[in-house]
Amino acid sequence: MDGSIEWEKFHPIEDGNDFPNSKDRRCPRCGTPVSGRPNKIYCSGNCRKRHKEGKRNAALSMAKRRENAELYDRAKRLAEMLYLTPPMERLGFMKDLIDVARAEQDAQLRDILSNQTLIKLNWSDKQKYLHRNCSDYCTISQAASNYCKRFWRANVRDVVYGRTPEPPTGLVK
């Protein structure tokens, strides 16, 4: 061997036939198609980094468990405040809560009012989240959802995150 390179053996990749699975590749974290190098696994550096991070849920993280406990405790206290309010003043109480959430003054309140766990309770969870542990009452999220459906004719999440315009007089025709 004289050290020369046989250039006809080296050629640039011009079509997808050289790597047949290149069109089927998807990012394992977000599922978007991956383009670029044939051995590339993730769609971006961000997905690569986030895939290595551990899941942040209440079963694995003490901080997340504490955050959830605070959130659900506040939701239960808000429901208690709602039901301690005289019945004739409850609509005003709900309107004030939704106005505070829409004004983006309280992100946790927005999260509580639009929390799907509190809106769609399982029978096993009812005693943890209901006022006086009685199924005759609803959670603050369910009350907000009912209020938004009745007066705004919209989903509570759309209302508290400001995606629905406010009715002109507070009433929907």
In a domain, 171, yes or no: no
In a domain, 122, yes or no: yes
- Interhelix angle for 140-147 vs 62-84, to 10°? 60
Q: Are residues 90 and 143 in the same domain?
A: yes
DSSP string, 36-77: SSTT--SSSHHHHHHHHSPP-STTT-HHHHHHHHHHHHHHHH
Q: Are residues 39 and 109 in the same domain?
A: no
In a domain, 40, yes or no: yes
Q: Are residues 32 and 77 in the same domain?
A: no
pLDDT of residue 41: 87
Residue with tokens 């550096």: 45
Q: Are residues 48 and 68 in the same domain?
A: no
> Per mean pLDDT, which range of 74-83, 127-136, 156-165 is the poorest?
127-136
In a domain, 173, yes or no: no
In a domain, 83, yes or no: yes
Residue 1 has pLDDT above 50, yes or no: no
CA-CA distance, 59 to 65, in Å (whole number)? 7
Contacts of residues 68-71 at CB distance under 8 Å and 24 or more positions apart, as own/partner, are 71/108, 71/111, 71/112, 71/115
pLDDT of residue 137: 79
- Per-residue pLDDT band for 35 (boundaries 50, 70, 90) equals confident
Q: Are residues 70 and 129 in the same domain?
A: yes
Q: Are residues 85 and 131 in the same domain?
A: yes
> Per mean pLDDT, which range of 10-14, 45-49, 112-116, 125-129 is the poorest?
10-14
- Per-residue pLDDT band for 155 (boundaries 50, 70, 90) equals very high
Q: Are residues 69 and 154 in the same domain?
A: yes
pLDDT of residue 104: 85
By percentage, how much of the chain surpasses pLDDT 90? 35
- For 123, the domain range is 63-160
pLDDT of residue 130: 66
pLDDT of residue 11: 45
Handedness of CA 5, 8, 14, 17 (dihedral sign): negative
Q: Are residues 131 and 156 in the same domain?
A: yes
Q: Are residues 149 and 98 in the same domain?
A: yes
In a domain, 94, yes or no: yes
Average pLDDT of the segment spanning 39-44: 88
Average pLDDT in the chain: 80
Q: Are residues 35 and 70 in the same domain?
A: no
Q: Are residues 78 and 105 in the same domain?
A: yes
Q: What is the pLDDT of residues 66-122, one digit of tens each?
A: 998 899 999 989 999 999 999 999 999 999 999 999 998 899 999 999 999 888 887
What residues contact 33, with CB distance under 8 A and at least 6 apart?
23, 25, 26, 27, 43
Domain count, the chain: 2
